[in-house]
Structure 1
């Protein structure tokens, strides 16, 4: 059993407490964790697109892919930035030129399910002409309707 004796130097003074109260730190860290858990899923897709369903398995990724989206009005978005259809070939060639030394980046094509098949194929033709041949069509996991 230990006894709390007064120190000899201070004659009745108590020594300063050397314990750290970590409860407020833990509370703050838990609040930050909850904030990040809530906001992280909101940062994934910038362009609202009604993706089709598919039974395909997800792909393994070694580098960050380029995202090209087509919304239900047929507007094109390259990495969440709207691109005019006339400017698309130059933008795709610029992406290919950046990767001139290595393999071209993979392109994730996100197209709305209500779009015409010809519209999606025209965009895929532009990707092929620019040398971006690693194209993955993004879908939502589920049973096709």
Structure 2
């Protein structure tokens, strides 16, 4: 095993104690390099991975949720209507969520046709319940008084 000390002569022909060899200390150099590396990493601009998509805002012919009262109806063919405009279940859920984001929850009036399939009515009621609607009213029931 090599020693980092060398024998040194004391000048009188004898040998004195051991003296350390002078090697370059690289610790400060490594510290400076690490600091520079961190500075370069910080100054690199952050890469953002974005995909530009133009999402539809308001489709023409589709009404916005009314801040006071909205009506969901189902006709005999099973078509769902939001304030008179035909919508699919996904759009209905979006309208329900938009109406619940309003400062005051608007009343939701539900009016299924007597000939509408029970499955469709049940699915729409489940969507309304999942959305968290608290103000729900069934309208048009007086038509079925003599059913």
- Using structure 2 for the length normalisation, give the TM-score: 0.48
Larger radius of gyration: 2
Q: Which has the higher contact order (CA 8 A, sep 6+)?
A: 1
- Using structure 1 for the length normalisation, give the TM-score: 0.49
